[in-house]
């Protein structure tokens, strides 16, 4: 493979409704956390479920779409790219987080949404 690519595809359920923030320069950002479950069988033949919480960020037009579509508990498929954010906090400690910056999404729980 000769081309490097930063691409993430996830299917999961938001743990809460998204939150929107508006900036003075007309920029908008919507954020939510997506629960992605993995299930496997361990050496003792026990079924283990592991949940990863992924931070999702969407900007401007996609932020508006997120606010219309994404709801707590309703499964969504998302596509985006990983971003590593680093900063120094007020106490001088280095901090970092990883988030997925959204490039596309679609609802997966079609029947569940229609029932509401």
Residue whose C-alpha is closest to residue 109's, from 62, 66, 61, 77: 77
Q: State yes or no: pLDDT of 111 exceeds 90.
A: no
Distance CA 42, CA 99 (A): 29
According to DSSP H, which parts of the chain are helical?
60-69, 110-115
The pLDDT, as a whole number, for residue 4 is 83
Displacement of CA 94 from its chain's centroid (Å): 23
Q: How confident is the model at residue 3 (pLDDT cuts 50, 70, 90)?
A: confident
Distance CA 66, CA 106 (A): 9
Interval 63-101: pLDDT, tens:
999 999 999 999 999 999 999 999 999 999 999 999 999
The pLDDT, as a whole number, for residue 116 is 47
Spell out the domains of the chain, with CATH numbers in brackets.
Answer: 8-110 (2.40.50.140)
Residues 6+ apart with CB under 8 A from 71: 14, 17, 113
């Amino acid at each position: 493979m000769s081309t490097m690519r930063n691409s993430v595809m996830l299917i999961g359920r938001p743990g809460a409704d998204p939150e929107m923030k508006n900036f003075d320069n007309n920029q908008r950002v919507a954020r939510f956390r997506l629960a992605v479950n993995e299930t496997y069988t361990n050496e003792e033949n026990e079924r283990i479920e592991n949940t990863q919480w992924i931070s999702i960020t969407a900007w401007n037009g996609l932020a508006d779409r997120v606010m219309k579509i994404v709801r707590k508990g309703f499964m969504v498929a998302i596509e985006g790219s990983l971003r590593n954010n680093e900063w120094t906090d007020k106490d001088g400690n280095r901090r970092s987080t990883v988030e997925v910056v959204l490039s596309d999404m679609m609802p997966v729980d079609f029947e569940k949404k229609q029932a509401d």
